[in-house]
Structure 1
Amino acid sequence: MASMMDAELKEMTQEERATALGMTTEQLNGRTMLIEFNEDEAERFTYPWAPDVDFNKRTELDTDNLTATQVNTRIRELMSEGYGSIVIQNPRGKHALGVGILNKLNLIVDGSLGYFGVGLIDGPTVRINGRVGWSCGENMMSGIIVIEKNAGSTFGAAIRGGDLVCKGSVGSRTGIDMKGGTIIVGGDTGAFSGFMMQRGRMVVCGNAGKNLGDSMYDGTIYVGGKIQSLGVDAVPAALTDLDKAWLTRKLTQYELMPEKGVDHFTKIVAGKQLWNYDNLEPAEKKLIL
């Protein structure tokens, strides 16, 4: 009997399977996430203890013989001295450089970073002239990060705000647990990108690996190339004029605008069938997945 039910479920569409298992397509409406603010209230945009820096005051920091802790400490010291533009020289792939910067800053990395580069930041503008390892920009709150070459896996994990841009290709699980902000990839992305995505927008100018948007709760993914496969509850949607205008503006801003424009992009959103996932019994969960 169970095998017959399994066979019937496999022949159904995702919506038919969800209905057969007692799930509903009703869209849940919670409290709005919209934040209203007065742009004149500067205290909402800076931390009360944040140093006042001058972007025209520039210095260089040679990190060749320094540990990651020493580098990060020195960055904070330079900001307290008023330096608003800092150039990191000889990073040599060190891990966890530039993390936890909660201040306005123009940070330039002349080279490549290792794992967990410039994570947990809130405010700085970062340009990395080389490559980055896993989890670059993890838990980024606001600001801009631009990587000129390639990036490793879990690029922008749990990002909450700002723009995270890689002009090359990235590894798997890009934007895993993404909670806001924008991730832009100039090349390809690996498998399970957008996994458990909750909010925000992801743009992939090249191809996307298998299980794109798997178990995504909300948010939007745009892909300019081929998609190997969609994950659970990720579905195509119509590309609107508003989508095209936003894509054009963002990609032009970071010099990643394709010659053929943005009309060819595929838009992926959440089917929202898993919004009622917790109501299923364990055996039913196994069947739906």
Structure 2
Amino acid sequence: MPFRMIALDLDGTILDPEGRIRPRTIAALDFARARGLEVTLVTGRHHSVTRPYYEELGLSGPAICCNGTYVYDFLAGRVLSGEPFDHGDARRLVASCRQHGVDMLVYLDDVMLYEVLTPHLQKLGAWIDGLSTRPKPELRQVASVEVVLDAAPNVWKFVVTHSDAGRLAAWYAAAEAMPAYSAEYSWHDRIDVMPAGRSKGSRLLSWAEGRGIAPSEIVAFGDNFNDLGMLTSVGLGIAMGNAPDGVKAKVGEVIGGNDTDAIAERIESLLA
């Protein structure tokens, strides 16, 4: 068995279209851990909305959250390592969003903030309301992101979004010229923005190195452009069948969609 770690994206990957982890996936990951492999969640999500799935999988190690901006230890309840936005860079990003008329979701230490309630946020809020997990994630509407930033909190990630794809693409084109930021599409109408140099791939490799695990000893599963950093830097990067063609074209292997047991089947074959 050449692998020592399995790295997994959540949305669009181990979560099916209804946001559930398939039972066979849970069983396959349990078997992998019993065989000595580490299982690490590597997600664009805030740790508070990662926790329910972390607990469902029965994991004990930290998770990589906000697209590699930080590593979170659920058992200790704290960030182990990470680099939030420089406050000036955060304010300049907000100003850019104002200029282009796009919306923002802002991830702070223990809360996610927004100004405009989008269909995605309505769905997220309903999911949070239905959770039995404690503490529940906090999703809060504010009148002004700038007023919040005046208090100088840690800002770990922005999600820039808009229903007008052209407007969002125009913002993205401008953001690519801003050296302080890393921006990656995580959905057709959402762009994740992190401090420059932060990505799932860079944080995963750094975390694994500290564990004595080489890139060649990691197998990773993902489905979107924000997963490419890890899918293309590990021993085996596997894209889901539901991934965009631009993602599938850049990885070595493509399996079935997240509405199938493709992940479980591939893990089982690796452990056979």
TM-score (norm 2): 0.26
Larger of the two Rg values belongs to structure: 1
Higher RCO, 1 vs 2 (CA within 8 Å, ≥6 residues apart)? 2
**TM-score normalised to the size of structure 1?**
0.24
More helix by share: 2
